Amino acid sequence: MNSDAGAPGRNIKVSLVQFDARVLRPGLNLERMQRAATEQALAGSQFIVFPELCNTGYIEPLVPGAPFSAEAGSADDYAFRLYQAAEPDGGPFTQMLCDVASAHGVHIVAGLALRHPVLAGAMYNASMLVGPQGVLGVYHKIHRWHLEKLYFIAGDTISVQDTPCGRIGMQVCYDIRFPELTRALMLQGADIVTNVWASFRPDNAPPEDEQIFTHRAYTRAIENGVFFLSCNRAGRQGNSVFMGRSLIVAPNGKVLAESRSEDEEVIQAQLNLDDVIRYRSFVGLSTDRRPDVYARYGTGSA
């Protein structure tokens, strides 16, 4: 579902690509991402977002105690094969994303497994932002979900990148459950926060709450006055189904576009960046905060 929003002002068109990343098939994933990013750029999108771990697929096993999927193969040597599929410094996914961004004048965020630049065998679950000039920022997931701790080093840096599409902050999946992270991005001036997901359910059980992604994105948007772009993965992996349902939420909580499916899909919306100013000038999120009080109760400057 697509939507146009906002009065004339600083408008940008965004696309969220609800992508099915194939397990340990980086070559195929790269080709499909390149095609999708180019199609969205040619359709007029200025900012394009892909979900979590697009190059490798999600880690195996998906949950503790589960079998490895047929796509991933056996547990034997899986960590090595995951590392081989992960992106080296300046690797093919980085180059492809930069080439598309440069050729079409767009900005792209993509979730990728990245090899550590120095430590052999070590990886990050990351979100990369590229623009026409190249790589603008890389965020390493701070909060690792369950078995991600077996494969990925935790990040420890939060930053916002200034672009023609606004000031952009990134997070990955489970990070959304920690409000301090989105607040830290807002305090650094973020207009847009991207969250890239690979969130799934058992294939024999429906979602416990089909609106769960809406609840989370809505909350982070209105409590920080940011555009919140929630881009989840689609498709299947083993006995699990990725839940899709990507959405774009305005600073006031209005859902501008959403997917209601678990299939591959692209959702689009027009963002008016002046809506961030409109909302925050009415709701005193910066002026009414009391970090001096919060700090007494162990919550720091949130």
Q: What are the structure tokens assigned to 182, written together?
A: 């989105």
Q: What is the DSSP letter of 212?
A: H
Distance in angstroms (rounded) separating the CA atoms of residues 192 and 226:
5
Distance in angstroms (rounded) separating the CA atoms of residues 139 and 160:
9
What pLDDT is attached to residue 110? 98
Q: Side chain identity at 42, as an amino acid letter?
A: L
Is 85 a member of any domain?
yes
What is the full DSSP assignment across 139-186?
A: EE-SS--GGGGGTBPPP----EEEETTEEEEEEEGGGGG-HHHHHHHH
- pLDDT tens digits, one per residue of 200-249: 999 998 888 989 999 999 999 999 999 999 999 999 999 999 999 999 99
Q: Which residues pair with 49 in a beta bridge?
A: 16, 109
**Average predicted confidence (pLDDT) for the chain:** 95
What pLDDT is attached to residue 136? 98
Distance in angstroms (rounded) separating the CA atoms of residues 300 and 302:
6
Cβ count within 10 A of residue 133: 10
Is 6 a member of any domain?
no
Is 3 a member of any domain?
no
Please give the model's pTM, rounded to 2 decimal places. Answer: 0.95
Q: Side chain identity at 144, as an amino acid letter?
A: R
Is 179 a member of any domain?
yes
Is 172 a member of any domain?
yes
Cα 79 to Cα 82, 116, 293: the distances in Å are: 5, 14, 45
Distance in angstroms (rounded) separating the CA atoms of residues 282 and 276:
10
Is 302 a member of any domain?
no
Cα 103 to Cα 13, 42, 46: the distances in Å are: 17, 10, 12
What pLDDT is attached to residue 4? 46
Phi-psi region of 175 (alpha: psi -120 to 50; beta: other; left: phi over 0): alpha
Q: What are the structure tokens assigned to 128, written together?
A: 């990369």
Residue 5 pLDDT greater than 50, yes or no: no
Distance in angstroms (rounded) separating the CA atoms of residues 104 and 84:
30
Rounded to an integer, what is the distance from CA 183 to the centroid of its chain?
Answer: 16
What pLDDT is attached to residue 208? 87
What pLDDT is attached to residue 298? 87
Q: Which domain holds residue 247?
A: 11-297
Over residues 190-195, mean pLDDT: 98
How many domains does the chain divide into?
1
Is 5 a member of any domain?
no
Over residues 42-54, mean pLDDT: 98
CATH number of the domain encompassing residue 38: 3.60.110.10
